[in-house]
C-alpha cells in the first residue's frame, strides 16, 4: 500500500470512529427527515373543535356563518348580557357578538373568550363576515353580483411557467422550488467546505505543535502527508453525506408508510362551500384547508426536478470545492503555530466563498446573466454559484467548462499549497508574514 494511501486510511478511520462523527451522522438525517415530514403531518391534522355562541343583533348572519371541522357556531335566542352571565356555565369557548349597526360602519364584531382562540378560527370568522358584509352591501345597492364575481374570477388567474425544450416538449416548472433547491445546495457546500477544511487545518496544526509531524516526515514526503490528509478528510465528508442521504431516505420512507399512510397529497383538495343570503346573494368559496393545495403543488413541482443530476453535480462540486480550499487550509495550518495566528491568512482565503454566498441572492434574480456565468466558471466561486444556477438549467458546455476549470484550480492550489506546506510544516516559533510565504514559494529542493 502506498504511503499516501496509508495516511488516507489513518485520517479516515481516526475521524469516523469519533463520537462526534457518529452523533452528527445520526442526528443529521433525523433533522432533515423531520423538516420534510413534520410540516406535512401537522398541516394534515385536524385542530380541536371550538364551539362559539353567536349573538347577532343585526339579524343578517344567523345560521349563515359556515361551519368547519375546527369550529362550530350556535345561534341561541338570547341577548349579549344573558350570554355573558351564563358563559362559564356553558361548554362554549367564545361568544361572537355582531352589533346592530354593523353595516353602517359604526358597530363592531367582538369575540369574548375563555381561552385564546386559534388563529385559524379568528381568520375564518374575520374573512367570512368581511366577505358576507361586502356582498350584502353590493346587493343592498343593487349592484350586479354576477358581474362582480366574474371579474373576481378573471382577475385571480394562475400564472404557469413552462420550460420549452428544443424537441418541442414543455414541462411545468416552479421558480420558488428551484430557488429553494439552488440556495439549499449552495449553503450546504459552503458549510461543508468550511467544516471539513477547518478540520484539515486543525489536524495539520495539531501534528505540528505536538512535533508528531517530525516523526511522520522521516518516512513520507511533506506533499504526500498533505495529500493524504486532504483526501482522507474528504472521504470522511463524503461518507457522512452519503449516510445522510441513505438514512434520510429510509426515515422518510418509514414515515410515509406509517405517519403519512392516510395522506394522499394528490387527492388533497380544498372543499368549496357556497352560502346564500336570501335569493340573490352568493358568498365566496370557503377553503377548508388552505395549506393543502400549496403542499400538493410543491410536491408535484419537486417531481419535475432532475435530482439525479443535482446530486451528481452536488457531489462533484462538494469534492472539487473542498479539495481546492482544503489545500489552502492545510497550507495555513502548516505556516502557523496556533489557531489565533491563522486570522491574518484566513480572511483572504475565505473571501471568495463568502462572496459566493452573498452573491447567491443576486444570481437567482438572473441565473443566466453574465455575472452568474463568470462566477460559475471561476474555480473559487463556482462550487456555490453553479449549484445555485443548476436547478434553473445550465447549458452543458458551461457545466463542462466549469468542472474542467475547477479541477485545474484544484491542481494549481494543491501545487501552491505544497510549496508552502513543505517549508512551513517544520517551521517553529516564528511569526509568518505574507512576504515570508512568497519566499517559500520559490524555495527549491
Average pLDDT, 10 consecutive residues per value, the chain (445 residues): 80 85 83 72 67 84 80 86 85 85 73 80 83 77 73 65 66 71 87 84 77 71 81 86 82 70 46 36 42 54 70 89 88 75 77 90 86 92 91 88 93 84 72 74 67
DSSP 230: H
Give the rounded distance of the alpha carbon of 52 from its chain centre: 39
Q: Answer whether 392's CB lies under 8 Å from 402's CB.
A: no
Q: Give the pLDDT of residue 272.
A: 35
In sequence order, the β-bridge partners of residue 25 are none
Query: Which grid coordinates belong to 363?
Result: 444570481
Nine cell digits for residue 98: 355582531
- Containing 192, the helix (H) or strand (E) segment is helix 175-209
Q: Using an 8 Å Cβ cutoff, are 399 and 316 in contact? A: no
> By the 8 A CB rule, do 125 and 111 touch?
yes
Chain Cα centroid distance, residue 98:
43
- Could you give the 3-state DSSP secondary structure of residue 95? strand
Q: How much is the pLDDT for 150?
A: 72
User: For 34-121, where are the E strands, in sequence order?
Assistant: 50-56, 71-74, 94-98, 109-113
CA 309 – CA 312 distance, rounded (Å):
5
- Nearest CA to 121 out of 51, 168, 45 is that of 51
Q: How many CB atoms lie within 10 A of CB 47?
A: 13
Q: Which three cell numbers stand for residue 339?
A: 489557531
pTM of the model: 0.62
Instruction: Please give the order of strands across the beta sheet that includes 50-56.
Output: 71-74, 50-56, 94-98, 109-113
Distance between CA atoms of 359 and 382, rounded to whole angstroms?
12
Amino acid at each position: 500500500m502506498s504511503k499516501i494511501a496509508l495516511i488516507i486510511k489513518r485520517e479516515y478511520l481516526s475521524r469516523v470512529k469519533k463520537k462526534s462523527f457518529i452523533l452528527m451522522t445520526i442526528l443529521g438525517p433525523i433533522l432533515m427527515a423531520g423538516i420534510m415530514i413534520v410540516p406535512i403531518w401537522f398541516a394534515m391534522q385536524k385542530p380541536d373543535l371550538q364551539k362559539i355562541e353567536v349573538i347577532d343583533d343585526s339579524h343578517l348572519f344567523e345560521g349563515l356563518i359556515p361551519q368547519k371541522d375546527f369550529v362550530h357556531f350556535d345561534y341561541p335566542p338570547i341577548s349579549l348580557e344573558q350570554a355573558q352571565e351564563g358563559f362559564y356555565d356553558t361548554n362554549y369557548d367564545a361568544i361572537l357578538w355582531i352589533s346592530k349597526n354593523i353595516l353602517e360602519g359604526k358597530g363592531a364584531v367582538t369575540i369574548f373568550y375563555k381561552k385564546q382562540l386559534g388563529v385559524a378560527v379568528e381568520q375564518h370568522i374575520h374573512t367570512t363576515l368581511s366577505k358576507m358584509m361586502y356582498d350584502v352591501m353590493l346587493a343592498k345597492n343593487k349592484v350586479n353580483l354576477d358581474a362582480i364575481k366574474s371579474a373576481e374570477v378573471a382577475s385571480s388567474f394562475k400564472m404557469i411557467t413552462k420550460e420549452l425544450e428544443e424537441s418541442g416538449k414543455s414541462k411545468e416548472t416552479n421558480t420558488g422550488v428551484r430557488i429553494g433547491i439552488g440556495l439549499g445546495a449552495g449553503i450546504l457546500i459552503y458549510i461543508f467546505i468550511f467544516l471539513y477544511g477547518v478540520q484539515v487545518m486543525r489536524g495539520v496544526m495539531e501534528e505540528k505543535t505536538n512535533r508528531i509531524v517530525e516523526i511522520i516526515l522521516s518516512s513520507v514526503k511533506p506533499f504526500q502527508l498533505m495529500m493524504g490528509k486532504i483526501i482522507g478528510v474528504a472521504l470522511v465528508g463524503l461518507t457522512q453525506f452519503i449516510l445522510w442521504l441513505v438514512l434520510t431516505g429510509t426515515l422518510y420512507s418509514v414515515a410515509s408508510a406509517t405517519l403519512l399512510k392516510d395522506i394522499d397529497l394528490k387527492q388533497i383538495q380544498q372543499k368549496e362551500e357556497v352560502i346564500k343570503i336570501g335569493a340573490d346573494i352568493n358568498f365566496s368559496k370557503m377553503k377548508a384547508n388552505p395549506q393543502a393545495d400549496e403542499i400538493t403543488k410543491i410536491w408535484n413541482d419537486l417531481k419535475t426536478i432532475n435530482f439525479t443530476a443535482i446530486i451528481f453535480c452536488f457531489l462533484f462540486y462538494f469534492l472539487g470545492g473542498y479539495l481546492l480550499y482544503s489545500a489552502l487550509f492545510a497550507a495555513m495550518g502548516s505556516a502557523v503555530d496556533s489557531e489565533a495566528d491563522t486570522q491574518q491568512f484566513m480572511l483572504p482565503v475565505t473571501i471568495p466563498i463568502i462572496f459566493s454566498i452573498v452573491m447567491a441572492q443576486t444570481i437567482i434574480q438572473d441565473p443566466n446573466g453574465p455575472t452568474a456565468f463568470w462566477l460559475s466558471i471561476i474555480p473559487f466561486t463556482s462550487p456555490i454559484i453553479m449549484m445555485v444556477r443548476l436547478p434553473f438549467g445550465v447549458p452543458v458546455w458551461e457545466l463542462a467548462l466549469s468542472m474542467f476549470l475547477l479541477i485545474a484550480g484544484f491542481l494549481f492550489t494543491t501545487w501552491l499549497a505544497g510549496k508552502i506546506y513543505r517549508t512551513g510544516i517544520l517551521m517553529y516559533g516564528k511569526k509568518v508574514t505574507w512576504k515570508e510565504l512568497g519566499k517559500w514559494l520559490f524555495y527549491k529542493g
